[in-house]
């Protein structure tokens, strides 16, 4: 497995409604097989676009009809329930009650549990290096899955995505809402090169439908991608309609993926809703 060492850059563009990320080479593992395709930036079949972008797929495809929008369904989390969850991760020695969360501390790390949306955030206390380096992304997925399920948390997902930056693995578990992939709140586990879990974010969230919205065309979204610098070029390999969380609403967005000229993986979310 080829692992590129690269920094992660994540920026939000308010004017275009785009969220852009340059990520190291990564693997998508819906069934633990296959990797993202690598595209030649000199591909003559690529759609010649704007602002340094080209696309190797047609931009004429549009979703049909209206798309649902959602909001989080808030379910207050009592202290007793929060402490029970924290004990699954650490031996609780102390806790602090904040305005919107309970924070539990112990020698193994800390657990923060949101009072309203049932988010569990675990941060480990690790010292030094230990064990053998992970051999594959599949190993990272198995460690992340076991870590969640051994703490009696339900883990149902359609696709596991693994991102590696040369130092840490990030495993994201993706599901769907209304048959559209949901990137708004995905369960995630990060670990070091030796497979030791650093952080975990788990969301026991539910949603309420708040209405429907029209969708702009994929071509219009392509035109809203943030401008690149003069020496940057990106060949987009795919685009799909997904859900993201923005302005307190779970709403549709176009998810563009591709490769930059230095082989870094490129990802960008452009809001698709027309309110």
> Distance between CA 233 and CA 9 in Å, rounded?
16
pLDDT above 60 for 17: no
pLDDT above 70 for 32: no
pLDDT digits (tens, 9 = 90+) for 81-94: 999 999 999 999 99
- Beta-bridge partners for 260: 234
> Distance between CA 236 and CA 223 in Å, rounded?
13
Length in residues, the chain: 275
pLDDT above 60 for 31: no
Whole-structure pTM over 0.75, yes or no?
no
> Distance between CA 49 and CA 97 in Å, rounded?
51
> Distance between CA 83 and CA 118 in Å, rounded?
12
Write the CA distances from 148 to 82, 120, 235, 257, integer angstroms: 16, 11, 36, 28
- Answer positive or negative: Cα dihedral of 42, 43, 48, 51: negative
Q: How far apart are the first and last CA of the chain?
A: 43
pLDDT digits (tens, 9 = 90+) for 115-147: 888 799 999 999 877 778 999 999 999 999 999
Comparing CA positions, the residue from 167, 88, 156 lying closest to residue 122 is 88
Q: Is 266 exposed, middle or buried (0-12, 13-18, 19+ CB in 10 A)?
A: buried
- Beta-bridge partners for 179: none
Q: Average per-residue pLDDT in the chain?
A: 80
Looking at residue 98, what DSSP letter applies?
Answer: -
> Distance between CA 183 and CA 180 in Å, rounded?
10
The pLDDT, as a whole number, for residue 247 is 85
Comparing CA positions, the residue from 136, 89, 137 lying closest to residue 112 is 89
Conformation bin of residue 193: beta by default, left when phi > 0, alpha when psi is -120 to 50: alpha
Which residue blocks in the chain are alpha helix, DSSP H?
79-87, 137-149, 218-223
Give DSSP secondary structure letters for 163-183: EE-SSEEEEEEEEEETTEEEE
Give DSSP secondary structure letters for 57-73: S-S-----S-EEEEEEE
> Distance between CA 191 and CA 134 in Å, rounded?
10
Average pLDDT over residues 20-34: 32
């Amino acid at each position: 497995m080829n692992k590129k060492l690269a920094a992660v850059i994540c920026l939000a563009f308010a004017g275009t409604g785009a969220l852009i990320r340059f990520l190291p080479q990564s693997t998508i593992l819906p069934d633990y097989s296959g990797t993202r395709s690598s595209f030649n930036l000199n591909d003559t079949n690529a759609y010649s676009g704007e602002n340094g972008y080209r696309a190797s797929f047609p931009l004429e495809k549009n979703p049909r009809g209206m798309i649902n929008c959602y909001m989080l369904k808030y379910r207050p989390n009592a202290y007793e329930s929060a402490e029970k969850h924290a004990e699954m991760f650490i031996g609780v020695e102390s806790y602090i009650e904040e305005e919107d969360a309970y924070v539990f501390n112990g020698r193994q790390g800390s657990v923060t549990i949101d009072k309203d949306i049932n988010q569990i955030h675990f941060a480990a206390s690790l010292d030094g290096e230990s064990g053998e380096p992970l051999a594959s992304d599949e190993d990272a997925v198995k460690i992340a899955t076991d870590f969640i399920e051994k703490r009696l948390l339900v883990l149902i997902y359609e696709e596991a995505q693994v991102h590696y930056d040369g130092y840490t693995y990030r495993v994201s578990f993706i599901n769907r809402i209304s048959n559209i992939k949901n990137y708004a709140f995905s369960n995630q586990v990060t670990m070091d090169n030796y497979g030791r879990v650093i952080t975990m974010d788990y969301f026991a969230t539910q949603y309420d439908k708040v209405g429907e919205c029209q969708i702009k065309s994929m071509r219009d979204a392509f035109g809203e991608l943030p401008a690149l610098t003069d020496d940057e070029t990106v060949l987009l390999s795919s685009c799909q309609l997904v859900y993201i969380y923005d302005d307190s609403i779970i709403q549709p967005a176009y998810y563009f993926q591709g490769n930059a000229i230095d082989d870094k993986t490129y990802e960008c979310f452009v809001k698709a809703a027309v309110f």
